[in-house]
């Protein structure tokens, strides 16, 4: 399986000629979802869910389908009957040759005064886990953990402890659009030295084999 990093929290996975894309949001490239056979969205916040990008992807490939939580599915299902699927914690499904397990229920706390929305994470082929905007620990081993490295709801110590708890072989940054280049070495050094996993970050467009 090949992983290509897209901007912010969007990632693209390729296997056997099929393409799966997670979280093509407003901070992602305008074409982030195009070419996907399978689309996954973790939650409704616009940096993870952009309706226009999803509609473009579904229109471009009549065989493409979307799996997501109800708040997103309800907005797109009427226009794409039979192609938009609602999932929640504990679900498992096969799509485009990818095996997907769903873990997690709620977005991380931004502030006690801000209501929490639903958030699900996706474990793909029992290998890569994308948690969305939460520090969900899946009830399954993880080889490659996508880590939300910088967000309004977290700090680096929490990210380090999250990697330690999940115990992946390697951790790769997502949710990085808010992080300035000048601060990158600080995060890289902390995560590399303290998380207990091989840590790396990919520039948008870079790819690696899983």
Taken in order of first residue, the domains within the chain and their CATH numbers are 2-209 (3.60.15.10)
- What's the predicted TM-score (pTM) here? 0.97
For the stretch 26-76, pLDDT in tens is 999 999 999 999 999 999 999 999 999 999 999 999 999 999 999 999 999
Residue range 96-128, pLDDT digits in tens: 999 999 999 999 999 999 999 999 999 999 999
Tokens representing residue 89 in the block: 């914690």
Closest CA to 87 of 132, 126, 50: 132
The pLDDT value recorded for residue 10 is 98
């Amino acid at each position: 399986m090949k992983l290509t990093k897209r901007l912010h929290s969007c990632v693209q996975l390729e296997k056997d000629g099929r393409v799966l894309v997670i979280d093509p949001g407003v901070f992602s490239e305008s074409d982030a979802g195009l070419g996907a056979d399978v689309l996954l969205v973790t939650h409704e916040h616009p940096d993870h869910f952009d309706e226009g990008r999803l509609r473009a992807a579904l229109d471009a490939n009549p065989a493409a389908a979307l799996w997501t939580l109800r708040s997103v599915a309800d907005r797109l299902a009427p226009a794409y009957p039979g192609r938009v699927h609602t999932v929640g914690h504990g679900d498992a499904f096969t799509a485009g040759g990818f095996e997907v397990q769903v873990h997690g229920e709620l977005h991380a706390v931004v502030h006690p005064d801000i209501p929490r929305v639903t958030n699900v994470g996706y474990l793909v082929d029992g290998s890569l886990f994308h948690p969305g905007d939460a520090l969900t620990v899946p009830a399954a081993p993880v080889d490659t953990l996508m880590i939300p490295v910088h967000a309004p709801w977290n700090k680096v110590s929490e990210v380090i402890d999250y990697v330690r708890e999940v115990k992946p072989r390697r951790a790769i940054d997502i949710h990085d659009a808010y992080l300035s280049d000048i601060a990158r070495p600080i995060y890289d050094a902390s995560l590399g030295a303290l998380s207990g996993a091989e840590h790396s970050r990919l520039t948008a467009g870079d790819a690696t084999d899983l």
